[in-house]
Amino acid sequence: MLAFANAKINLGLNVIEKRSDGYHTLETVFYPVKIYDTIEITDADTTFCEIRGVAIPGDSKDNLCLQAYNLLKKDFGLPPQQITLFKNIPVGAGLGGGSADAAFLIKLVNDKFKLELSVNAMEDYARLLGADCAFFIGNKPVYATDRGDRFEPLDIDLSSWNMVLVKPPVHVSTADAFRGLKPASPAVNVRELMSLPPDQWKEVMKNDFEETIFRKYPEIAQLKADLYHAGATFALMSGSGSSVFAIFDHPVTLPGLEQTNRVFYDI
């Protein structure tokens, strides 16, 4: 069986405080986009994960898909499976690719073995794997709070806009990104900003990671500036970086940026 796991972007991201459990309280809007990994599970003699496509740092034995399968296997006595992950979503890009893969693996296993898990039950499993993992179970725009794993549905549709995402040849560690942050309460929360049209977001919607990441990687700041120079209505780094997305009110191609970056159109 196959599943196509999509990425997400963050429409605004405010890091409010560091918690006693080591996580951070934040608020953001998760918005699904059309950049996909492909996951396949097939019967096998032993359970293992094979990764193809974009290279992922670390050992495949530590992959979140395998961790997700083992969580379900522990509770439901599942048979051995080969998990094949065809990786296309950039890594270290703030797109939630690893979390998406794990969440879609949970949904795929639920379907294949007819576990009849509810959405809430699948979200509970996903929360054990990563702060944003549960988002990909419902996979619809949400206002996310707490660790980024408590959701309120949002009625927002950007399909009438032309959206582009650019991934520079830079890998940003989420842990490193958090180390440079100074948490603070925002003047206006992101949910309120969603009532504004995108052509009013530029001056009011922020990503708290940008200040620290742009200082360490000025090429990402330049990338955002280049997107505005190309006519973007709005541009922002996604998550803790390094990718930057842009919203245009017209179709666009960016051959100059394609020379040194991965550019995804019509996301």
Residue at which a domain ends, from 96, 130, 153:
153
For the chain, which residues score pLDDT lower than 70? none
121 in the same domain as 176:
no
171 in the same domain as 125:
no
Does the annotation flag 95 for ligand binding? yes
179 in the same domain as 102:
no
181 in the same domain as 89:
no
Does the annotation flag 12 for ligand binding? no
- The CA distance from 100 to 113, in Å, is 20
Nearest C-alpha neighbor of 162 from the set 95, 253, 89: 253
> Taking the CA of residue 86 as centre, how many other CA atoms within 13 Å lie in the half-sphere pointing to its CB?
11
Does the annotation flag 92 for ligand binding? yes
Does the annotation flag 90 for ligand binding? yes
Does the annotation flag 100 for ligand binding? yes
Boundaries of domain holding 251: 162-265
199 in the same domain as 126:
no
141 in the same domain as 44:
yes
251 in the same domain as 178:
yes
Residue 46 has a pLDDT of 97
- The CA distance from 201 to 206, in Å, is 9
**Residue type for position 50:** E
Report the 10 Å Cβ neighbour count for 34: 14
Residue 95 has a pLDDT of 97
Residue at which a domain ends, from 107, 128, 153:
153
Strand 162-167 and strand 262-265: the pairing is antiparallel
Question: For 224-242, how does the pLDDT look when each residue is reduced to its tens digit (9 = 90+)?
Answer: 999 999 999 999 999 999 9
Residue 20 has a pLDDT of 85
Does the annotation flag 91 for ligand binding? yes
Residue 180 has a pLDDT of 78
How many domains, the chain? 2
Question: For 51-71, how does the pLDDT look when each residue is reduced to its tens digit (9 = 90+)?
Answer: 999 888 777 778 999 999 999
230 in the same domain as 251:
yes
Tell me the catalytic residues: 8, 132
Residue 21 has a pLDDT of 84
226 in the same domain as 115:
no
Q: Distance between alpha carbon 93 and the CA centroid of its chain, in Å?
A: 8
86 in the same domain as 197:
no
Nearest C-alpha neighbor of 148 from the set 16, 244, 5, 6: 16
H or E stretch at 248:
strand 244-248
Residue at which a domain ends, from 104, 134, 153:
153
141 in the same domain as 74:
yes
